Each structure stands twice: as C-alpha cells, then as structure tokens.
Amino acid sequence: MATSIELRKLEKSYGDVAVIHGVDLTIAPGDFTVFVGPSGCGKSTLLRMIAGLEPITGGDLLIDGQRMNEVPAARRGIAMVFQSYALYPHMSVYQNLAFGLETAKMPKPEIETRVRRAAEILKIEPLLQRKPKQLSGGQRQRVAIGRAIVREPKIFLFDEPLSNLDAELRVAMRVEIAKLHNDLGNTMIYVTHDQVEAMTMADKIVVLRSGVIEQAGAPLELYNTPRNLFVAGFIGSPKMNFLTVNEETGALKTGGNRLSLGRNSAGAATLGIRPEHITINEGSGVKFADVRVDLVENLGGQTVVYATTGDGQGLNIVLEGQRAVELDASVSAYLDPAKAHIFNAEGLAIR
Amino acid sequence: MTARSFETGTPAGERAGSPSLWSRIWQQDAPGYLFLLPWFIGFFGLTLGPMISSLYLSFTHFDLLTAPRWAGLDNYVRMFTNDPKFSASMRVTMFFVIFSVPLKLAFALGVALLLNRGMKGLPLYRALFYLPSLLGASVAIAILWRQIFAGDGLVNKFLALFGIIGPSWISNPNYSLWTLIVLSIWQFGSPMIIFLAGLRQIPQDMYEAASLDGASKWRQFWKITLPLLTPVVFFNAIIQTIEAFKSFTPAFIISGGTGNPINSTLFYTLYLYQEAFGFFRMGYASALAWVLLALVAIFTAFSFLTSKYWVHYDD
C-alpha cells in the first residue's frame, strides 16, 4: 500500500546557482522522514521538487519505481501541507476540504463522505461551516492537514507546518501528526529547522546543509554516531560541546589534561562531548578538564552548569537531579570514553 | 499667565501652572492648520460653496444676467415630464456606463493577468499601458481620436487595404457611441495598475495548493484569483462607474459639443453643459447636476449594499 520514494543524483539550480547538489536518498514505504537543516540548506526546495512545484534540473525522482521528473504535481499522488496553511480565505472549511475532490469531479455524496471522515479524524466537525479567518492557528493547521487527508494521497509532504504555532500547540500538534502517521501508515516527508521535531517524529532524519546531505539515518543513529562536526552540533539539545585538542601518541591533550580514550584517536583535532554525558562526580569516568563555574541553572529535574576550561573554552554540563554547584567554584569534569566523539581537522568523525 | 488664561476662558482647573488649553492647542496645531489653509480655501471656496449655491439655483430660473427667480420644483418636474432631450441623454449615458465599465474592467484585468506572469521589462510595459490613462481624457487625444475614426481616418485607410469600405465611425449614429466606448476602454491603465497590485497580494502558495489539487489555470482563475480579487474589482467598478457618469471631454470634442449625430453621443454632462452655457439656463443645469449626483449616490449605495454578497475580504 505505502509508497517508496527514491532520489537519484537529484539536482536543482537557478541559472548558474546550484542549490541542490546531486542528492541520493531512498525513503522506504511508510517511513516518516524528516528533512532538517539550517535555513537556506535546501530542505524546502528538495520537498518542493518532490511535490512537483519546482522543476528538477538534473537526476531522477522515482515514486514507487516510476520516474516522476516531468509528471505534473497533481498526478504524483502527493498532498502537501504548507507552512502558511494556504487555506482559501473565501471558502468555508467544508469547501476548502472539498476543493480538490470537486476539481477531480468526484460525485457529491462521495465528497461529503470523505470530508466528514477527515473532519472526524481531525476533530474539526463543528468548524465545517466557518471561514478560515474565524479559526485559531491550531484549527487552521488541522484544516490544512484535513485538506491533505481527503484526497487519500500516497504521500504526505509537510513544509514546516508547525512554525506558525506557539510552543505549547506545536508540541500538541507534533504528537497528533505522529499519531496520524501511525494510523494512516502513509509515506510522509516533513521539513523542519527544529531538530527536536526531527528527533521526536522521524523514522529517518536527513540532515542537509548547503544542498548536500550531511547524514541520513535513524534519530538515535545520528545522535550516537554523527558523521561530522555539523551533524554532531545540529542534532541534540543542548548542543554538543566541542573542545580543541592536540593528539600526541595516542592521547589527547586539552588544556593541561591528558586523556586517553582507549581507541584510535590518530589525527584528532576536536573532542565532542554532549552536555548530558559529562559528570562532576569523582571516579565516574575519565577526567578531561578542570573548569570554573560561570553560571548555574536549576531546572528542578536537571542542573545546567555553564563553565570555562583552564584554556578558556566554554563547556556546558547537564547534571541529572538537583545539585549544589557553587558559582566560581573549580570542579573537575569527567566523561565516559565510550560516549566521547573525536573529529579530525576536516571535521569528520574518527571511529 | 493667569490673565491670558482668563481671557481665553479656560476652566479654572486647567489654568494653574501651565499655559491654557486653547493657547497650547494654538501653539501646537497652528502650523498644521496653516498647511491645511490652501485646502480649506479650495474646499469651501471652490467645492462646498458652489455646491450649496447650485442646490439653491436648481430651484430657480437663472440666466446669469438677471437675478435668479424662485421656481420651486419646476425644473425637476420639467425634467421628468417634459424633456425628451433629458431622457435621450440619460439613455446615452446609461448605455455608455453599462458597456464601457465592464468592458474596460475586463480588459484591464486581462492585461494585468498577462503582466503578472513575471515577464521581463514589466515596469516598462506597465508605464506604457498606463500612459493612455494619463492622456486619455485630454482634448488632444479626443481630437486625435476624431482623426483616426473619421470617414477618411486611419482606421478606414487600414480597412481599405483589405478592400473594406468603412463607415465614418464618429458621424454614423450606429457607431459613434461605440467609438467613445472604445476610447474609454483604451484608458484601462489606472484600473490595470490597481488590479496588478491586487494580483500581487494573492499568496503564491494558494496557487501551488490548487495545482497540487489538480486545478487547471482556468479553474484557478475562477475559484481563487477572481474571488480574492473582488475587493479590488469592487473598488475599480465604483471608481470607473463614477468616471463614466461624469465623462464629458471625449463626447464634447468628437461631436463638436453637439451630441450629434442625432443625439447619439449626447452624454448627460454634455446636455447639462449645453443647457448651462449654450442656453444660459443655469437653474435647469443645476437641477440636472443634482439629479446626476443623486443617481451616482444611489448606484454607489446599491453597490455597497450588495457588496457583502460578492466581495470577499481576507480579514
């Protein structure tokens, strides 16, 4: 039932300016794939190329094995939810939902059935006669999703659908979209710049930068084994700490400390360690730095420590539970070598 | 300080401490009123004053030479009961409004849609197409138009190339009004610019959503563009209708001020002009002017009343 998508050396350029540089990607049927990256990385362009809203400059787009490069958007079996929702302001919610079906000249009773069913799924039945301007942001979002559902497409595309909602609603809608995916089982592609959305929703995350895939994989795969500095820094919140190190005969020197990870570290230039993987308890790992505490945030469940190493590098530490850490105190930081990441001078991970 | 406040009559509470309210207003706002002065003079001296006096004159007989004589409703009664030229001119103007306004708006919208397709050199075309609106109602253009559509004019010379012997477009009563309608349509620039601005306001992603839904360009136009453009259509329709009711210069020039042939271009305003400055019946001409004003007001009110059924506002 569900549909596979394959991108082969997909390229996009505007005149001489190339924005997508030969992207290869396979999306398994029924997968929830998230394109994530900073603004301008090409994630929305890539989505629009799949949708058929942007012409493809080079390479192939295959949907269920069929080449789709020149197939018009309407015949690709795709529905898309826009960041702005793109609801027709002069039509009622019902008419908005029915528009695509009427365009396809579907019989009225069938349209009615489909619209009612979508409205039921999204709990917007009481809103069907309203105009979009009479709806809240969250309700508009539901209608926009409803408009995609009624067409019963093979593939759903979401272009930053939650970025116009407030933080609380965003979390709620995130959960609903994930549930929707579980219920419908369609292949879905979701574009966001928010790595938390990516981590929580995706079966597969595709990290893009400057029109190139930096890494694609399951969320925890990207979290545990980032391929380079960019992915390491982009995935995970708060951000991974990066410390400049010198590698000498199998050991890393940072500040005044010598640290051995017990694995190949030849050519290491940067040590990456996530804030939540650092402790200040003596004897729980390998000591790698003596730091001065600049600021402490007590969040209740966690204690966040902002510190500076002896050689002036910033280090963020997230400690579980409520900890008494004094400002300006000098503490030793420890890490578990298995959870440390090392990168060479080009920024690539050393395994 | 206190004395000045007392003179200006400021209430006791506002007298203490600071300058009085009125002198503060005067000091703060005097420059503003000074700048408004030319407008005040223009509005009261050249607009409101003449309007009120014409309303009075419409109830009199007045030949400019002797003092106005009170006539009560005579002028209005004569207009509606005993003036074939009044009804003829009303018919001509109505015909002109009913055909020139929709045709001009449709043409303006068509050109705006063409220009909105992101073509190169858009500012140049926009300026070129706007030009006739600047020139259109001028005497020079009307004279030029008379040359073009005359019996031996450019149009007929062009038709002669194909062996067609054209009529005199302006002296044949079957065509003369249509020639004026074409001249009016040719001045489509101003509504076109407004349509173009309106088209730019329609978010692109609505069209993208519609194209994903499989809607053809034709369906997109009727279901998205036109409904979302209705506020602009409404505005343009009102403005252009008022313009059309007021239209005077082209008919005056092309018919030489007569409204001929056989009153086929006797616009209402032209008839009004003849009565006022041909026959010096200022009272009757004033009454004609007020009937026109009432007509335009009724039309506009009607448009506003019906607008809620067909104009879609976004917010």
Span of A75-89, A238-252, A281-295, B125-139 with lowest mean pLDDT: B125-139
Mean pLDDT of the region B114-120? 82
| Beta-carbon count within 10 A of B145 CB | 22
Contacts of B206 in chain A (CB under 8 A): 86, 88
**B295 neighbors B245 (Cβ within 8 angstroms):** yes
Position A90 confidence tier, pLDDT thresholds 50, 70, 90: very high
State whether B211 and A74 contact (CB < 8 Å): yes
Q: What is the pLDDT of residues B206-232, one digit of tens each?
A: 999 999 999 999 999 999 999 999 999
Q: Give the CA count within 13 Å in the CB-facing half-sphere of A236.
A: 23
Partner-chain contact A103 B219, CB within 8 Å:
yes
Residues on chain B touching A73 (C-beta within 8 angstroms): 208, 211-212
Span A275-306, pLDDT tens digits:
999 998 777 788 888 899 999 999 999 999 99
- Which of the residues A76, A87, A88 would you substitute to probe the B interface, choosing the one with the greatest number of B C-beta atoms within 10 Å? A88
Whether residue B272 contacts residue B282, with contact meaning beta carbons closer than 8 Å, is answered with no
Q: Do A51 and B223 touch (CB under 8 A)?
A: no
Burial class (CB in 10 A: 0-12, 13-18, 19+), A156: buried
Please, are residues A288 and A275 in contact by the beta-carbon 8 Å criterion? no
Give the pLDDT score at A47: 95
User: Is it the case that residue A193 has pLDDT exceeding 60?
Assistant: yes
Per the DSSP assignment, residues forming a β-bridge with B216 are: none
Dist. CA A215–CA A231, nearest whole Å: 7
Smallest Cα distance from B313 to chain A, Å: 8
Could A103 and B205 be called an inter-chain contact, meaning their C-beta atoms sit closer than 8 Å? no
Contact list, B198 vs chain A (CB under 8 Å): none
CA within 13 Å, CB half, B2? 3
Q: Closest Cα partner for B95 from B229, B220, B211, B251?
A: B251
Residue B212 to residue A78, Cβ atoms within 8 A = yes
Confidence category of residue B2, pLDDT binned at 50, 70, 90: very low
- Convert the pLDDT of each residue in A55-68 to its tens digit: 999 999 999 999 99
Residue range B83-107: mean pLDDT, rounded? 91
Residues B129-176 pLDDT 10s? 887 777 766 777 777 877 887 777 788 888 888 877 777 777 777 777
* CATH number attached to the domain at A5-228: 3.40.50.300
On whether the CB atoms of residues A204 and A5 are closer than 8 A, the answer is: no
Cis peptide leading into A72, omega within 30 of 0?
A: no
Residues of chain B with CATH 1.10.3720.10: 74-310
Q: Which residue has the tokens 């084994």?
A: A225
pLDDT at B315: 60
Domain(s) labelled CATH 3.40.50.300 in chain A stretch across: 5-228
Looking only at the bridges linking them, the beta strands covering A251-254 and A241-244 are: unpaired
Task: Classify residue A106 by its DSSP letter.
Answer: -
Name the CATH topology of B74-310. MetI-like fold (1.10.3720)
**Contact (CB<8Å) B206/A88:** yes
> What residues in B contact A84, CB-CB < 8 Å?
203, 205
Of the candidates B203, B211, B213, the beta carbon closest to that of A84 is on B203
Interface of B with A (CB under 8 A): 203, 205-206, 208-215, 219, 223-224, 227-228, 230, 312, 314-315
Contacts of B209 in chain A (CB under 8 A): 80, 82, 86, 147
DSSP states of A170-198 as a string? HHHHHHHHHHHHHHH--EEEEEES-HHHH
Annotation: CATH topology of A241-344: OB fold (Dihydrolipoamide Acetyltransferase, E2P) (2.40.50)
The predicted model scores a pTM of 0.81
Please tell me if residue A306 touches chain B, with a CB cutoff of 8 Å.
no
Distance CA A242, CA A244 (A): 7
Closest residue of chain A to B226, computed from CA coordinates? A90
Query: Are residues A79 and B315, on separate chains, in Cβ contact within 8 Å?
Result: no
Q: Of how many residues is chain A composed?
A: 351
Tell me the ipTM for this assembly: 0.84
B71: left (phi over 0), alpha (psi -120 to 50) or beta: alpha
CB contact under 8 A, B212 and A90: no
| Angle ∠(B140,B142,B148) on CA atoms, nearest 5 | 105
Taking an 8 Å cut-off on Cβ atoms, the answer to whether A103 and B213 are in contact is: yes
